[in-house]
Homo-oligomer: A and B are copies of this chain.
Amino acid sequence: MASTRLIVALDTDTPSAAIRVAKATTDDAYAFKIGWPLLLDAGIGIIKSISEFGNVICDLKIADIPNTNSAIARRVKDAGAWGIIAHAFTGTDSLSAIVSSSSPMKVFAVAAMSHPGSSEFINLVAIRLAKISEDAGSYGIVAPGNNPEMLIALRRATTRMKIISPGIGVQGGEASRALVDGADYVIVGRTICNSPDPHQEAARINLSIESAFKEQDKKA
């Protein structure tokens, strides 16, 4: 696990490409994020394969009743995942069920999302979702890196939880800006996965983050 602020989302077309990108960016990534499409294509064993190169966060956006949520979380934990992403809008009991089935796996709850449709329901209750996530014992929340106002508001709403932020790159967010606004880690997918040299691209992002923080320290 590299001590960077970069989570690489393995948004590739094939399991072999996901493993190739993970291997290439093992020294650049704090963690790797994988989702249902990869799990459906490769099976749950892919978690173990990618864990060879770093922490694996399963971005499953679980949103079911407590019993089913627990059943999913337990399987992913047993398969070796380091973290899991779940929804909070299904309520405190659903999220608590995941937290209690997951230890020592870290639970990140979705507080707000980055696509246009998120403004219809979920982002309207973002602060309350963050609050119940903290109360349920989540390790962190997911907050959009392409929505500075929302990210700043969520950073103010929680000091204990880590914030991880997607929406960087193709979706318009800028890594160092999101980190200054309050994210602890930024999630970058397509920009790295679609690059001819994923390691070089990830290293470039890490450098731009370091420079931005040095610049900020100078100003402070």
| A residues at B contact (CB < 8 Å) | 35-37, 39-41, 43-44, 60-66, 68, 71-72, 75-76, 87, 89-95, 113-122, 125, 128-129, 132
A36–B62 Cα distance when bound, in Å, is 10
A126–B139 Cα distance when bound, in Å, is 30
With A35-B68, A41-B75, A68-B37 as known contacts, state yes or no: A94 contacts B121, CB within 8 Å.
no
- CB neighbours (8 Å) of A92 from chain B are 117, 120
Decide if the interface of chain A is mainly helix, strand, loop or mixed.
helix
A40 and B37 form a contact (CB under 8 A) = no
Besides A36-B71, A89-B89, 15 more A-B contacts (Cβ < 8 Å) are A35-B68, A36-B62, A36-B68, A37-B68, A40-B76, A66-B115, A90-B113, A90-B118, A90-B122, A91-B119, A93-B115, A93-B116, A94-B115, A120-B132, A121-B125
A30–B65 Cα distance when bound, in Å, is 23
- CB neighbours (8 Å) of A129 from chain B are 121
- Shortest beta-carbon distance from A88 to chain B in Å: 8
- CB neighbours (8 Å) of A95 from chain B are 117
A89–B117 Cα distance when bound, in Å, is 9
- CB neighbours (8 Å) of A71 from chain B are 36-37
With A113-B65, A114-B65, A115-B94 as known contacts, state yes or no: A37 contacts B72, CB within 8 Å.
yes
A65 and B122 form a contact (CB under 8 A) = no
